[in-house]
Amino acid sequence: MDKKGEVLKHIRCRKGDIAPTVIIPGDPGRVERIVGQMDHADLLAQNREYIVYTGTYKDVPITVCSSGIGGPAASIAFEELIKLGAKVFIRVGSAGGRQKSTPIGTPIVINATYRGEGTSKAYLPAEFPAVADLDVTNALVQALKNRDETYQVGLGFTRDAYYVQDKELNTLLTDCNVLAAEQEAAVLFIIGSVRGVKTGAVVSTDSNIWLEKQPTLAEKEELFFKGERKAILAALDAAVILHGQEAHLF
């Protein structure tokens, strides 16, 4: 088989499989909820944490690929998708709210992140900012406005160890108006800078460490899934907006 037809090791796709615009959830289960909102989508591959569909939404070609949890697994998906022609990435994820005023289930557009994980530092030194593409960020905001949703826009905190909390750092970042903590956005933004692709992220909050009264897990999940649906629709609508702007042509 010639190189053009080679299947890549992890996502198990080849040239021609991947649309220029890719929506990236971490959770493989979220892939099904995203493609359920599309006009149609074909399952192309399922390997490890990577489930890949390509289809259309409002006649715009879109690929959906899960990245798993955390930077190392996500970076593999991003790199292989870029090799196969992806130009625009929209992360749709979950995150912990980091402001007392942020209810669980709030869609948050992350425009930049504190790099508290390790993977992005293999690409660029810690001083280099992890910043989303302005076109993608603006498209996500416009999509949420068009649906008359309540949302927030601002800074994220990308971290590695889910069950380790640095209370001093958490307080510092909250005081500096960080809105959400998650595990992949910084890696996406940094790879976007290194590889020259457009990136953005929208998350739904599934928890909030600062709430005085913590909901039960069932209550959190009910609120989260409502917010997740808003984030999914915002990402799909943003893909349509960006396609109309020919954001993938560069």
Q: State residue 247's pLDDT score.
A: 77
In a domain, 11, yes or no: no
Mean pLDDT of the chain: 96
CB-based contacts of 21, cutoff 8 Å, min separation 6: 60, 61, 62, 63, 86, 87, 88, 90, 239, 242, 243, 248
**The domain containing residue 193 runs over which residues?**
21-244
2 is catalytic: no
Place of tokens 């030194």: 125
CATH number of the structural domain spanning residue 96: 3.40.50.1580
Q: What is the pTM of this model?
A: 0.96
In a domain, 215, yes or no: yes
Q: State residue 4's pLDDT score.
A: 59
For residue 132, what are its two tokens? 């989303």
In a domain, 3, yes or no: no
Task: Report how many domains make up the chain.
Answer: 1
Catalytic residue among 27, 133, 206, 237: 206
Q: State residue 1's pLDDT score.
A: 35
Stretches where the chain sits below pLDDT 50 are: 1-2
